[in-house]
Structure 1
């Protein structure tokens, strides 16, 4: 059976789709993935047919936008990128779609896939990698850019989210989207976040103990475990020098601010000072060397990339931005997490980790060496946190999120 997969974003958005494509191929399906151009090399290494959306320059222009990683202003450049991909995604699916059968699996921000479903009648599975974009009055997500948002009642957060849709999201996307739909003879969309979910099948790839299912979620929603996918990144295992560093002393604290971050110098500067203050070893993960000082002390190592499944079991804790893929890998490793959220879903993931008892959060402004050291010391010495981390790791170990996601897609094919 033919399966077309479409997603937009950075590593945390693309790698789960690449892992799913590879797993479906092993099950005998013909697969093709459309994603931003920089991920073509990873797809080739995985043996997955790839269609580039945009160019490397387009991707870098978005990633380097000065407002992208702002908790409120970041939505504008993001929505502009999503809108610009609508027609290319639709054209790709219209060209390759066969009436003989198959299914499309797309992220909710792949708007061209939903247009193709409306126009061509193709079967579509909307795949959410995080619960942040799923509306609920009973358990509304924690929104970025609002002080103490996690303390607000759920209905208040939901009301604020609807306001954001009405005054920010919809005005930025719907005029262009509806103009394109009009050329296809399709009616206008009234609310983006209501329309972008496939009415036939929606899959959420995080377990119910992490995001409790809600009675007001869409009826077509299916929930599975985390589709751990880091082995589809830039390398399979640890660099020998990294492995030697890990073996040479006590478990280090790992720090990452995400693969797409281009404004992380202050974060890594604080990370370095935090480690020195605590007398701890550290490992700084940043793809771009200019994000990290070139005069690090010997007990702190900069690494461009390391698969978390190989690295984190050798680390004492992880300090990061709050991306869902990073969250899942640290839960799998059973280590505490300190989240310094940036934008988008990061604040919501941080709140869920606090609720599980496996982590803490500090704002970017409050993430200083002294505060960070105090919070990290509490996380590393608390028996309660250690127990919660072990329990989370055991839960992940008993799940097969990627296999369950494949099952959900195949069920959609059968239906």
Structure 2
């Protein structure tokens, strides 16, 4: 069960596809627009809301506000929580053995875990949502100087969480919990983690494990799963473009962005200044000026795992799935963060000499061109990117590791007697 955009949902499709190959029945519960991708992977599908519901969330300009962007997606999560909880409970009542792997916003899964004792794991695709006093994540809209002690930054983060997130989310969530006979939640970012298992889909060299992380957390690695996206292979016109000249710059502002016109206008100006070719990835019409000059191509989507190894640099919003693909390709990144984890991912890249960040206000042709020139010509950046690429290449497949942990959770559930009685009897 996953709620979010492509970067949030595709790892769940990949996990389900692998579990299916191991002989398990798998259903993906996700926003309705992901149905085609799930079914291509062979999964059953349970829509969370309608396509219109999801589009209403994605189309809100507030979604891309650094401080308030969480509200539309949290509204969506709250709106589907009760129905998905009851759906899981009804399925369990029919004697079906269930193991639930859920994203942090899949609140219906956590409710069902408490109500029906369903074995569950929370899968995190980004370190941004893991709290720590020793290494607090960078929050959007709260640029705290790194010279502040980590404990102070963590305290300020918790204060922002208490003032901004709690008053907005806890009253409706606790009203639902009261109707279901459950105790109220005090801290959302504590409650949404399964107390039995957390799967962290990012490596320790990117986000070092902290002593105060939850004991049930298991760190795996970056899942490279874009083959399960909208288009599994590169379009012939993109293949021809790549073969016709130097490695291009790649610009993307994410699969869900609807207000990317200023970003792509700056992208074209950067290319004019630098004389570089470029690939512009924008799934929605109206974001890119037409006609495009020679040496520039625009597509709605391309698999980054195939495109980025043949590219010079990636300029993007800072989504963790996009970050991981550029790390695997060994190319520098310029992050222009918008909201959510984008600021935290940009900080981690900068700290590791893997890229740079520019605010949307500072993302102007002259300045961005200078920074890209430095990234492309700095030996230290090239060395760091090569190291990241080598680490990614030799890392075990985190999806396989996640499958092992899910099957382990299933085994433990049978052993402790939380699987349905019919299932336990059939196992004996």
TM tier, shorter chain? over 0.9
- 1:408 aligned to 2:405? yes
- 1:244 aligned to 2:240? yes
Deviations 1:77-119 (A, max 9, x none): 2221221121122122112236553310001111111110110
1:199 counterpart (164, 172, 195): 195
Q: Aligned ranges for residues 10-409 of structure 1 at < 5 Å?
A: 10-97=5-92, 99=95, 101-147=97-143, 149-150=145-146, 152-399=148-395, 400-409=397-406
The 8 Å contact of residues 142 and 149 in structure 1, kept in 2 or not, is answered as no
The 8 Å contact of residues 130 and 213 in structure 2, kept in 1 or not, is answered as yes
The 8 Å contact of residues 71 and 343 in structure 1, kept in 2 or not, is answered as yes
The 8 Å contact of residues 144 and 153 in structure 2, kept in 1 or not, is answered as no
Inter-partner Cα distance in structure 2 for 1:307 and 1:92: 34
Shift of 1:257: 0.3
Inter-partner Cα distance in structure 2 for 1:88 and 1:314: 45
Match of 1:9 in 2: 4
Question: Any idea what SS the aligned residue of 1:275 has?
Answer: helix
Question: Any idea what SS the aligned residue of 1:296 has?
Answer: coil
The 8 Å contact of residues 227 and 405 in structure 1, kept in 2 or not, is answered as no
What is the TM-score with the length of structure 1 in the denominator?
0.97
Match of 2:422 in 1: none
Question: Any idea what SS the aligned residue of 2:286 has?
Answer: helix
Inter-partner Cα distance in structure 1 for 2:293 and 2:327: 29
Inter-partner Cα distance in structure 2 for 1:32 and 1:149: 44
Deviations 1:374-414 (A, max 9, x none): 00000001111111111101111112111111112122122
The 8 Å contact of residues 15 and 232 in structure 1, kept in 2 or not, is answered as yes
Distance 1:170 1:99, change over 3 A: farther
Shift of 1:149: 4.8
CA RMSD of aligned residues (A): 1.2
Unpaired stretches in structure 1, ≥5 consecutive residues: 1-5
**Bigger shift: 338-347 or 82-91?**
82-91
Shift of 1:219: 0.4
What is the TM-score with the length of structure 2 in the denominator?
0.94
The 8 Å contact of residues 136 and 158 in structure 1, kept in 2 or not, is answered as yes
The 8 Å contact of residues 40 and 52 in structure 1, kept in 2 or not, is answered as yes
Shift of 1:349: 0.5
**Bigger shift: 187-196 or 248-257?**
187-196
Inter-partner Cα distance in structure 2 for 1:65 and 1:87: 23
Inter-partner Cα distance in structure 2 for 1:95 and 1:244: 52
Question: Any idea what SS the aligned residue of 2:198 has?
Answer: strand
Inter-partner Cα distance in structure 2 for 1:180 and 1:75: 20
Shift of 1:195: 1.0
Shift of 1:170: 1.6
> Would you say how many aligned residue pairs link Structure 1 and Structure 2?
410
Inter-partner Cα distance in structure 2 for 1:308 and 1:153: 37
Unpaired stretches in structure 2, ≥5 consecutive residues: 413-428
Inter-partner Cα distance in structure 2 for 1:300 and 1:306: 15
Distance 1:156 1:78, change over 3 A: farther
